[in-house]
């Protein structure tokens, strides 16, 4: 869980007040978008950050830029979480974790659905794919996932089920039962 960066990429260093506000905005945006989803208004982010709306737009010229900034962070977290796992069950654990978190990570889910194109982060999504690909290979090496399974359908299922869990408001039991079916489908016969 790395810190929120206080500076945009490149350019001259920011003034102290600008650094402070940039962080406030990012923190507020992560809260707001995590709670409400990408549809939340920029106005609400500004209010929560305690700055004027114009300040938000000075730091992030479009709403997409703001969304992109926090997505990058959230995605990095996900990739890190995938990287920490491994072995025969790592893929299943990651799947379970993501699904369970879906309810309070509306934004990531929204991003994944778009393949990152909505906020121009295809590379980041690519990295997640790689990380999941690693988990898949390990699981297949350990014999817990059928060798005929490939990465695209694993990503497809990951995104679909996570979205379903989020928008369908699945309770813990339904989540477990649904994942059980998917996992049974992934395991060798």
Partner DNA sequence: CAGGATAATGAGTGGAGACTCATTTTGGAA
Partner DNA sequence: TTCCAAAATGAGTCTCCACTCATTATCCTG
Residue partners of 146: CB distance under 8 A and separation at least 6: 140, 186, 187, 188, 189
- By a kind-dependent CB cut-off of 5 to 8 A, residue 42 interacts, out of DNA, a second copy, none, with DNA
d(CA 35, CA 51): 20
Residue selected from 4, 53, 151, 157 as contacting DNA according to rule CB under 7 A: 53
d(CA 127, CA 124): 5
* Minimum distance of a second copy from residue 178's CB (angstroms): 4
Residue partners of 81: CB distance under 8 A and separation at least 6: 94, 97
- Taking CB under 7 A as the rule, does residue 27 contact DNA? no
Residue selected from 64, 86, 88, 133 as contacting DNA according to rule CB under 7 A: 64
- By a kind-dependent CB cut-off of 5 to 8 A, residue 156 interacts, out of DNA, a second copy, none, with a second copy
**Which of these ranges, 38-46, 70-78, 100-108, 155-163, lies near DNA under the rule CB under 7 A?**
38-46
- By a kind-dependent CB cut-off of 5 to 8 A, residue 117 interacts, out of a second copy, DNA, none, with none
Residue selected from 29, 32, 33, 42 as contacting DNA according to rule CB under 7 A: 42
- Taking CB under 7 A as the rule, does residue 99 contact DNA? no
Note the residues at the interface with a second copy (CB under 8 A): 113-115, 146, 149-150, 152-153, 156-157, 159-161, 163-165, 167-168, 170, 174, 177-178, 180-186, 189
* Minimum distance of a second copy from residue 109's CB (angstroms): 11
* Minimum distance of DNA from residue 110's CB (angstroms): 13
Report CA Rg, the chain: 18
Reference 134, options 181, 183, 81, 188; nearest CA is 81
- Taking CB under 7 A as the rule, does residue 122 contact DNA? no
Closest to a second copy by CB, 122 or 185: 185
């Amino acid at each position: 869980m790395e810190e929120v960066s206080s500076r945009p990429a490149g350019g001259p260093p920011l003034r102290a007040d600008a650094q402070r506000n940039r962080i406030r905005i990012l923190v507020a945006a992560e809260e707001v978008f995590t709670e409400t989803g990408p549809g939340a208004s920029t106005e609400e982010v500004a209010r929560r950050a305690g700055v004027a709306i114009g300040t938000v737009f000075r730091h992030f010229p479009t709403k997409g830029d703001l969304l992109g900034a926090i997505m990058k962070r959230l995605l990095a977290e996900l990739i890190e979480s995938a990287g920490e796992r491994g072995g025969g069950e790592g893929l299943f654990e990651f799947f379970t974790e993501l699904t369970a978190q879906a309810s309070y990570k509306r934004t990531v889910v929204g991003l994944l659905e778009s393949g990152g194109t909505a906020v121009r982060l295809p590379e980041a999504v690519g990295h997640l794919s790689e990380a999941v690909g690693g988990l898949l290979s390990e699981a297949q090496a350990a014999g817990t996932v059928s060798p005929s399974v490939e990465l695209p359908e694993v990503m497809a299922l990951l995104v679909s089920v996570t979205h379903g869990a989020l928008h369908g408001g699945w309770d813990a039991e339904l989540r477990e039962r649904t994942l059980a079916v998917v996992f049974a489908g992934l395991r060798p016969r």
